[in-house]
Amino acid sequence: MNDAPDPTESEIKTRALIGFPSHLATILTAGLSLYALYWVIAIIQPQVYRMSFLLIVLVATFLIYPARKRTQRVTVGDWTLVAVAVLALVWPIVDFNQFVYRAATPTGIDLALGAITTLLVLEATRRTVGPILPITALGFVIYGYYGPFFELIGLELFAHRGYDVARLIGTLYMTLEGIFGVPLDVASTYIVLFTIFGAIFTHSGAGQFFINWTMAAFGRSGTGAGPGRTVTMSGFLLGTVSGSGVATTVTLGAVAWPLLRRAGFSAEVSGGILSASGIGAILAPPTMGAAAFLIAEFLQITYLQVITMAIVPAILYYLSIMLMIEADARRLHTKAINTELPSIVTLTRQSGYYFLPLVVIVLLLILGITPFRAIFYATLCAFGLSFIRRETALTPHRLLSALEDGGKGVLSVAATTASAGIIVGVVTLTGLGLKIAGILVALADGSVFLTVVYSAISVWMLGLAVPVTASYIIAAVMIAPALTLVGVADVAAHMFIFYYAVLSEVSPPTALSPFAAAAITGGNPFRTMMLTWKYTLPAFLVPFIFTLSPEGLGVLLQGSPTDAMWTIGTAVIGVTALAIGCGGWLTRKANLGERTGAILSGLLLFYPSSSAHIVGFILFGTVIALHLWRKP
């Protein structure tokens, strides 16, 4: 959980602490996990909880993440930031009863500590995910102050009355509309609990079991496709508990790269398979990426509804990867490999209990239990199941390590969402979101298709600069309104920007999963990224289905069952056609004409129109007929 900023992508920036700083960091991160678990069963005032949560996050971040990569010791500057963070965030908690009523008329102390808190959040974000997001957030603050200036330079569309420092600090620091708004709320509730669950589940041995289980279930093949299928399904299973593209990619790569290499896959193709399978973790229920929790909050729907909407797109995504692997394995003449693993029946009998916590989450959500309590009970279930085997038992030392990983994993997410809250606060205060939406609709001249295309490009460009979570948050307040203005349903608009925010995972300069995979395989990073893009292509075509036509909502399991069955069926055939075209194989190697025809038919079958579907079916049928008729 650039998916949201992600625990693993941030670990490369952490320093190896020793002595007192190490012990303090352990206490803070493990304590953060325990505090989040305590919040589920206790009653804590929301604003107080978010402030105290952010306080622990900032202190831990300044200890664990250095200001510069080469600075491995905790410096005087770091300790100064720790002390200032304590002062800036303890003050509103101690003075809370009066503090919350001064947002419109902050005192001098409020202004000073509010400015300091804002700068601390931006510095923590810079340390964890890089400088682009904090610079962007600072630019929005400047925009909020200099609103009238834009009229003077001829940019009347972006002009506004302008807000003084007191109003900006009051909004960002003293209300639930800025730093302590919805984004940080989601990080401190949903996301941290799923991060803790993933850490406990992984420490109990679930990760290795999922890889072994999928290898036994899908890895045995007469061709070299077996290891590729294993990686794909392992990515799905690991993703259900990690919700992190990079984390899943790295975990898979450490185990599966030798298998892929033995089968004959090149370093770049292997990297593409690994990263595409890992990125799917962001799309895979029940955890998904951090942005999925935000969808529930922004739309005021249950998280179970978000999971339900994500089921079919996730299936289409992994189906595409599986089919492309089958085609690539035959075209590249990979070979089958033998693995010394028990049968799928034996593995399930021995360790099938690892599936139980996932079942618990879904069942409790179906029964109407809140996501917080569902993941809380699933975490307790995972903890209890670890004692079935002595070697996986979460003894006090191992449990402490798991809690530490869970707390550490949410640091970058919390810093990012706090910075994104600054942006959301300014956008809401100035009305910029509606202005951007109006500009997009005006440029598209009211066309739904062009508005969707422009929105996709906007979110994609946004994702080049900031992580998925921040990209989604910004797009939710600036781009989603453009889609709803032209008639796109709210759920479709938010799912659309969610999927296009994920594109940042495979696009330079933030193509973290492909670059991580290339580092493991030794392949060319750019070629690995482009091959990943090939495998992930359907993930960025599916959103067009449910935005361009009301019938397309069937892919999200919305609307009538008839529309859902038809739309899903055509999408499955469209994925198959794209896999044939991109993979270059049906019963044998496909020629250029057949590949082009298959890709065109796949695109037509993705477009939610009866006439497009008819043409797509005819074209795809013609491609298959010509391929079968052509002599070997």
Report pLDDT digits (tens) over 63-97: 999 988 777 789 999 999 999 999 999 999 999 88
Averaged pLDDT, 582-602: 89
- Of 355 and 631, the one with more pLDDT: 355
- Of 252 and 60, the one with more pLDDT: 60
Instruction: Give the closest residue to 140 by CA, choosing from 402, 528, 429.
Output: 429
Give bridge partners of residue 585 from the DSSP assignment. Answer: 589
Residue 34 CA to residue 400 CA, distance in Å, equals 10
- Half-sphere exposure for 44 (CA within 13 Å, toward CB): 20
Dump pLDDT digits (tens) for 168-189.
999 999 998 899 998 899 889 8
DSSP string, 52-100: HHHHHHHHHHHHHS-SSTT--SPPHHHHHHHHHHHHHHHHHHHTHHHHG
- pLDDT of 40 strictly over 90: yes
5 pLDDT band (50/70/90 cuts)? very low
At 589, is the secondary structure helix, strand, or coil?
A: strand
- Among 184-193, 334-343, 495-504, 511-520, name the one with the lowest average pLDDT: 334-343
Task: Look at the block and give the residue holding tokens 């490009």.
Answer: 457
Averaged pLDDT, 451-475: 83
Copy the structure tokens of residue 402.
């798991």
Residue 290 CA to residue 413 CA, distance in Å, equals 8
Averaged pLDDT, 263-282: 86
Average pLDDT of the chain? 86
- pLDDT of 7 strictly over 50: no
Most confident among 146-160, 334-348, 366-380 (mean pLDDT): 366-380
Cα 471 to Cα 135, 253, 310, 500: the distances in Å are: 14, 27, 19, 9
Residue 301 CA to residue 306 CA, distance in Å, equals 8
Residue 76 CA to residue 95 CA, distance in Å, equals 29
At 585, is the secondary structure helix, strand, or coil?
A: strand
Cis before 286? omega within 30: yes
For the chain, first and last CA: distance in Å? Answer: 48
**What type of residue sits at position 399?**
L
- pLDDT of 2 strictly over 60: no
Q: Which pLDDT does position 219 carry in this prediction?
A: 64
221 pLDDT band (50/70/90 cuts)? low
Which DSSP helix (H) or strand (E) runs through 516? helix 512-521
- Count Cβ atoms below 10 Å from residue 453 Cβ, excluding itself: 14
Q: At what angle do helices 468-478 and 290-299 cross, to 10 degrees?
A: 20
Q: Which pLDDT does position 223 carry in this prediction?
A: 62
Residue 50 CA to residue 40 CA, distance in Å, equals 13
Copy the structure tokens of residue 20.
């007192």
510 pLDDT band (50/70/90 cuts)? low
Q: Which pLDDT does position 222 carry in this prediction?
A: 59
- pLDDT of 11 strictly over 60: no
Look at phi and psi of residue 467 and say left if phi exceeds 0, alpha if psi is from -120 to 50, else beta.
beta
Per cent of the chain over pLDDT 70 is 94
- pLDDT of 111 strictly over 80: yes
Q: Which pLDDT does position 614 carry in this prediction?
A: 93
Dump pLDDT digits (tens) for 445-457.
888 999 999 998 8
Instruction: Give the closest residue to 501 by CA, choosing from 526, 529, 469.
Output: 469
Angle (CA) 566 569 572, round 5°:
150
- pLDDT of 255 strictly over 80: no
Instruction: Give the closest residue to 505 by CA, choosing from 236, 267, 281.
Output: 281
411, 59 Cβ separation under 8 angstroms = no
Task: Look at the block and give the residue holding tokens 């509309």.
Answer: 177
Alpha-carbon dihedral of residues 346, 349, 351, 355, nearest 10 degrees? 120
